[in-house]
Structure 1
């Protein structure tokens, strides 16, 4: 990524649907530790998205902010696939950068 970080995107097949998932590095040991303001901000962003949505996934015992997109396989062509992948990894990278900048200002 332009930020110098690496983003991982998972593609999981559920019957005729593909789930694209890009987990961020923003994770919490307990769901109770997830800041409400952060969740609210991402939910507000969801309302303006045509591709992708923010969610909290449980991965390896951690609660992780991830950006996902679900699509029926028969609707996906190479252009749509590329748009989804680029959108998710770029949004995830932007989110991580925002969190990093906010944390740097606290110190």
Structure 2
């Protein structure tokens, strides 16, 4: 038998015959991998949701604490304020503007930390 015909008629060396249920096994493996990926994605979303809730709760606590501090400082400033003292009135306005700026920085810091 010539070499070319012998090569064409014999199966390739090292070739592995597939089991009869190869497609079914492959489908099951793909389905299992898909389920694992979905479960992993769900866990990541749940973790992210928990982290976001914790950050929102912490932010609410900080905001409440700062509001209490602002109220106490304003009460002290108004108690020490005289009727004809315009400088103290300006100090109260300046304090309120500084407080608003501080709250904005804290909120931005919380969300920057959450995103990065």
TM-score by length of 2: 0.29
> Higher helix fraction: Structure 1 or Structure 2?
2
Select the structure with the greater relative contact order (CA < 8 A; seq sep ≥ 6): 1
TM-score by length of 1: 0.31
Q: Which has the larger radius of gyration?
A: 2
> Higher strand fraction: Structure 1 or Structure 2?
1
